[in-house]
Chain A
Amino acid sequence: MRKVLLLALVAVVVAGAVIASGCAQTPKDATAPTDTSTPGSTEETPQFTTLESGKLIVASDCDYPPFIAMEGEQPTGFEYELLQAIGKEMGLTIEYLSPQNFDTILAGVDQGTKMDIGVSSFTITPERTELVDFCDPYFDSNQACVAMKDSGYSAAKDVDGKKVGSQSGTTGSEWVKENLPNATLVEYTQTSDALAALQAGKIEAAFFDEPVAAEQVKKTYTDATIIEAIPTGEQYGFAVSKKNPGLTAAVNNALKAVVENGSYNEIFQKYFDFEPTMGK
């Protein structure tokens, strides 16, 4: 038995080392600073580095319409277009990684070896701010409780004590844990899994961000509806490694420029039928 335990321990360490070496592949240009100062700009451009020079590598779960979704292998959505505009401003090409699990993106950003920036509708929270830096907010959001139209529920508190779903690692999960203590929470990797489970009757209600809920019940899950929009006033921010404050500052400058030159508003109007709170 002791031999077995010893073997198990060795296996764990080896497995850990293998995983770590897989994650820790250092990109070639990791230290090469990318000069992005545009000629004629009077504002001082913060110095920053990206993993690959000339590129901004983005991690997203790519399953959060209208913010981000995959059309075949091509990401689309509000965040995608906003990043294109920001990339243009910074002189960087935006490169999306293949869809990542939402609940692992912030840890990946913290490690800073695979992605420059995490853009997946992250609400800025004090807990997350301990792990990563957030750029300035780019969207005001809220939570929503989604149930089937024929469920008979009319408010989030009706499902306290029932089985409900959310996406793992989201503020929706946190809201349920804090506000519906008697509910059994099932956390799915993706929101579409939670919605499929809702349709299949495996859960009574699903909780996620209101703009996404509104889009999903309008376009895809038409037999479901938002039974309660929960005002939380949370704000989305891009996540950047704490080791790269220059990038945070540069993205903030670019975001400000994109808001000021009107492209933010233009992209916003394409995806939402209400007025943005930013840039006013």
Chain B
Amino acid sequence: MSASIRPISASRASRFVVLAASSLLTAALFLSVAPGTLGALTTEKTTARSNQSNGNAVIGGQPTRVTWEGRVADNEQVKALSLNLPKGSRTAGDDTVNVTVLDGLARLNVEARVVLTDERVAITFAQPVPSGMLLRIEMHDFSLPAKAGDYEMGGSYTDGAGATYDLAAPPNPIRVTGLTTVEAIINWLDRQGWVKAWNSVPFLRIFLNPQMAVAAIPTLFIGWLRSCGLVLVGFPLAIPIGLGVSFLRMAKARWIRFVSGIFVNVIRGTPLFLQIYVVFFGLPALGIRVPEYLLGILVLAVNSSAYLAEIFRAGIQSIPRGQMEAARSLGMTTPTAMFFVIIPQTVRRVIPTATSEFILLYKDTALLAAVGVMEMMMFGKSLVANTGNMTPYIIAACYYLVVTMPLARVISSFERKLAVSEGGA
């Protein structure tokens, strides 16, 4: 893209203006002045809205919104503006262009005539845009070229004196990505008759939209892995803490029982959601900085440990007292008897309830979305927010069920076995 400034035409301008402009061009060429520094209009940026269903990329060949911004220099005016669109762009007509003129933060009402083709957008202002104004051109339903690459938009403008100059492209081009597999599948679905029929039913369109499902499945898979990570680290951490607390709950010293009782009752007696808020906004206020994901694991682990403590305590206390007495009479110390006689018998009895607790904790990872931990619910929320479609939540529900349903079966089979063995004993 040429960075030089040269006159293109000089309608209704005197020979002198052309001469002046040509000498300007010569000066610009020789001094290799930075783009636009001599001009009445400087491009500030060109950007495009992301049109990827499950990401932030700008995909070529798909409708998006392209924004161009430029500023009118001091003591200058701009009468008209023309931007060259990247070769291969597809546009959707003059009324897809929004022209905004801003004086600082104040929006000005301007009249402008817009002509949009696939090659360029030409804007002529009824009144010249005064100096210092920010000029924004937004074009929606705009498909950038399908080929991946960086695209620039140069052009030309007419200043207050009626002379036309080249407009240098902005420093940052628009980065366009090629069609992803997901987008290709969505495009294919868009064209299918049965998809159109399916989506014509509001319930199916909103909750079971095929295109949205395709977009959500890969994104939510990453979220699912993160949710699993939270609980797969959090739950094993909760087990030793819970076991420790259960011992404290059965301690001989009354005050230890009292303190551990407070811990268990406070944690079990308040919503996990509230605990998350207190920890996530409270700890940093004390100047303690812990990475969010780690903090999420810790909150889940501590919360779950209180429930596990009660499960373990009930399990240990359900073992007949005679077992401990018999072990002690064989010469075992109390800890030895606890670890080698009582706890092994407890494990079998607590597995079903502890697994239920695991399921609960896994589902509760969704609460962390409220404080910005990137887990499955958060991924689902941002997809729903971007599209207004509920299908990502349904897909998320499937991902939760993939874990919880088999586990529920495991529990019931365990319980059956337990009933048989205990009944037989």
- Interchain CA distance A106-B50 in the complex, whole Å: 20
B133 CB to closest chain A CB (Å) equals: 10
A197 is contacted by which of B47, B134, B372, B405 (Cβ under 8 Å)? B372
- Closest CB-CB distance, B174 to chain A, in whole Å? 10
Given contacts A7-B405, A107-B390, A233-B136, contact A200 B281 (CB under 8 A): yes
Complex CA gap A30/B101 in Å reads: 42
Cross-chain contact A277 with B106 (CB below 8 angstroms): yes
Partner of B397, one of A15, A189, A233: A15
What's the minimum C-beta distance from B10 to chain A, rounded to whole angstroms? 32
* A20 & B207 in contact (Cβ 8 Å cutoff): yes
Q: Which one of B140, B203, B385 contacts A20 once the chains associate, using CB atoms below 8 Å?
A: B203
Q: Mark B395-415, 1 if CB is under 8 A from A, else 0.
A: 001100110011001000000
Interfacial chain B residues near A173, Cβ < 8 Å:
385
Q: Are B105 and A231 in contact (CB under 8 A)?
A: yes
Complex contact B105–A179 (CB within 8 A): no
Interface: B65 (CB within 8 A)? yes
Query: Separation in Å of the B301 CB from the closest CB of chain A?
Result: 20
Inter-subunit contact A12/B394 (CB<8 Å)? yes
Give the Cβ gap from A251 to chain B, nearest Cβ, in Å.
21
Whether A11 contacts B401 by the Cβ 8 Å rule is: yes
Partner of A16, one of B107, B289, B381, B394: B394
Please tell me the size bucket of the interface on A.
Answer: 35 or more
Q: Which of A47-55, A62-70, A79-87, A180-188 contacts B (4 or more CB under 8 A)?
A: A180-188
A235 & B107 in contact (Cβ 8 Å cutoff): yes
**Interface residue? A142 (CB, 8 A):** yes
Main secondary structure of the interface of A (DSSP, over half): helix
* Residue numbers in B under 8 Å from A189 (CB-CB): 370, 381
Cα–Cα, bound, A200→B107 (Å): 35
Hey, which chain B residues are within 8 Å of A126, CB to CB? 65, 96, 98, 140-141
Asked whether any CB of chain B lies closer than 8 Å to the CB of A127, the reply is yes
B4 CB, min distance to chain A CBs, angstroms: 27
Chain A residue at smallest Cβ distance from B47: A178
B112 at the interface (CB under 8 A from A): no
A131 engages B388 (CB within 8 Å): yes
Q: Are B385 and A169 in touch, CB under 8 angstroms? A: yes
A222 located at the interface, meaning its Cβ lies under 8 Å from any Cβ of chain B in the complex: no
* Residue B425, interface by CB 8 Å: no
On chain A, the residues within 8 Å of B292 by CB distance are 202
Residue from A110, A178, A200 in contact with B280 in the complex, judged by beta carbons closer than 8 Å:
A200
- Please provide the chain A residues from 175 to 213 with a CB less than 8 Å away from any CB of chain B in the complex: 177-179, 181, 186-189, 193, 196-197, 199-203, 210
The distance in angstroms between the C-alpha atoms of A173 and B374, with both chains bound, is 16
| Cross-chain contact of A233 among B48, B102, B289, B388 (Cβ < 8 A) | B102
With most chain A CB atoms within 10 A of its CB, the pick from B96, B104, B206 is B206
Residues of B contacting A111 in the complex (Cβ-Cβ under 8 angstroms): 202, 206
**A 264-280 to B, binary, CB cutoff 8 A, 1 in contact else 0:** 00000000000001000
Q: Does residue B384 face the partner (Cβ distance < 8 Å to A)?
A: yes
From B207, B281, B289, B401, give the contact of A19 (CB < 8 A).
B207
Bound-state Cα–Cα, A226 to B370, Å: 24
Residue contact B405 to A4, C-beta cutoff 8 Å: yes
Docked-complex contact B388 and A12, CB < 8 angstroms? no
Provide the bound-state CA to CA distance between A110 and B370, in Å: 25
Residue-by-residue, is B340-372 near A (CB-CB < 8 Å gives 1, otherwise 0)?
A: 000000000000000000000000000000111
Q: Tell me, in angstroms, the Cα distance from A7 to B67 when the chains sit together.
A: 48
Contact of B48 among A142, A178, A277 (CB under 8 A): A178
Is A215 at the interface (CB under 8 A from chain B)?
no
A103-B385 CB under 8 A given contacts A202-B292, A277-B107 = yes
Interface residues of B (CB under 8 A from A): 45, 47-50, 56, 65, 67, 96, 98, 100-102, 104-107, 134, 136, 140-141, 175, 202-203, 206-208, 280-281, 284-285, 289, 292, 370-372, 374, 378, 381-382, 384-386, 388-390, 394, 397-398, 401-402, 405-406, 409
Can you identify 16 A-B contacts, CB atoms within 8 angstroms?
A: A4-B405, A4-B406, A11-B401, A19-B390, A104-B385, A107-B384, A126-B98, A126-B140, A127-B140, A140-B107, A179-B45, A181-B56, A186-B374, A199-B285, A231-B134, A233-B107
Closest 8 CB pairs of A and B: A200-B284, A103-B385, A169-B385, A233-B107, A107-B388, A126-B140, A231-B102, A186-B372
- Starting from the known contacts A12-B394, A189-B370, A233-B102, 9 additional A-B residue pairs (CB-CB under 8 Å) come to A11-B401, A11-B405, A16-B207, A168-B382, A181-B56, A187-B372, A187-B378, A233-B100, A233-B101
Binding site for B on A (CB under 8 A): 4, 7-8, 11-12, 15-16, 19-20, 103-104, 106-107, 110-111, 126-127, 131, 140, 142, 165, 168-169, 173-174, 177-179, 181, 186-189, 193, 196-197, 199-203, 210, 229, 231-233, 235, 277
